Amino acid sequence: MPTSVTARAPAKINLSLAVGRRRADGYHSIATVFHAVGLWDEVTATPAGGLEVSVTGPEARGVPTGPDNLAARAATLLAARAGVRPDVRLHVTKQIPVAGGLAGGSADAAAALVACDALWGLAAHRDVLLSVAAQVGSDVPFALVGGTAMGTGRGERLTPALARGRFSWVLAVAGDGLSTPAVYAELDRLRGPARGSPLVVPPELMTALRTGDAAGVGACLHNDLQRPALSLRPALRKVLDVGEDYGALGAVVSGSGPTCALLARDDDHALDLAVALTSSGTCRSVARAPGPVPGARVVPG
Ligand code: C5P
């Protein structure tokens, strides 16, 4: 058995997110295009007498270390599925902001699954990991897979999407997070609970991804959760306006927000956008990240 295994998993943004009606189980059916971007959380799994979690890193504040930590839940569910004891210490190094709309908790869960699978020598089938991932949360399967993928159901059913080239993103991180259930509830309140969008992914977006057409991708960015996120946090409008003023190809609230994703023409333009956002005072911090990047992987060495 190795003495410890470290895995890392990326943040995600949604290039397109259509939200259907609220289902009987409280979730909403969605049709989305997930896109993994190069902002990473790491999880190191080490043998221990029981399940322990610790968290450090620039975005560690507010992450629970008890059983509701998503990395802990993932390890517990994987251990139960494999018939082993979840005797592991999980150390999470967080760079992805909490409650930011970037699926940071889901990244931790996916990294924990990959790290524990390797530590315990399970070599679990990909389908087993995906099914445990879906039990932990709607976005966890995508954090395992990465790249660019269409998501349906509540987001857990994935189909890989063909994307050519590399896109330069700028992520504007807000001071305080937004609760995902609260943003979905605000959407229901604004449009009426019986209303839902058609569950479609724009064909123009898929064409732009296939051909590596950044301007086309920028023009197609869409998120049904943007309206409720702006309703709960009107100041986000200013972040999107900075993007427009400084020539972003597109700007959109990521997932349930409050992080906003701005698409730059190239890395130089991304730097200009990052400087403009920082000096505008409209967000707490700014990160530049390329996409797409792979999903959760063991970090060699
Ligand atoms: O699956 P996850 O635990 O990440 O979801 C958190 C919450 O977000 C759910 O309890 C639900 O309120 C909301 N949600 C939703 N529809 C989805 C995904 C999440 O309503 N497709």
> pLDDT tens, 89-128?
999 999 999 999 999 999 999 999 999 999 999 999 999 9
CA 90/CA 51 separation, integer angstroms: 8
Q: How far is the CA of 17 from the centre of ligand 1 (A)?
A: 14
Residue whose tokens read 């797409």: 292
pLDDT-derived band of residue 175, with 50, 70 and 90 as boundaries? confident
Q: For CA atoms 152, 154, 157, 163, give the dihedral sign.
A: positive
* Coil/strand/helix, residue 160: strand
Q: Which two tokens stand for residue 290?
A: 């390329």
- Given a cut of 90, whether residue 274 has pLDDT beyond it is yes
The answer to whether 17 touches 255, Cβ cutoff 8 Å, is yes
How many whole angstroms separate alpha carbon 184 and alpha carbon 194?
13
Is the CB of residue 94 below 6 angstroms from any atom belonging to ligand 1? no
Told to judge if 245 belongs to the known catalytic residues of this protein, a careful annotator would answer: no
Distance 121 CA to ligand 1 centre (A): 32
The protein residue whose alpha carbon is closest to atom 13 in ligand 1 is: 181
**What is the C-alpha end-to-end distance of the chain, expressed in Å?**
14
- The whole-angstrom separation of Cα 199 and Cα 274 is 33
For residue 300, what is the DSSP state? P
132 lines ligand 1 (CB under 6 A): no
What is residue 164's DSSP assignment? -
User: Is 237 within 8 Å of 253 (Cβ atoms)?
Assistant: no
Q: What is the mean pLDDT of residues 59-66?
A: 95
Q: Is the pLDDT reported for residue 1 higher than 80?
A: no
Which residue owns the Cα nearest ligand 1 atom 12? Answer: 181
pTM score over 0.85: yes
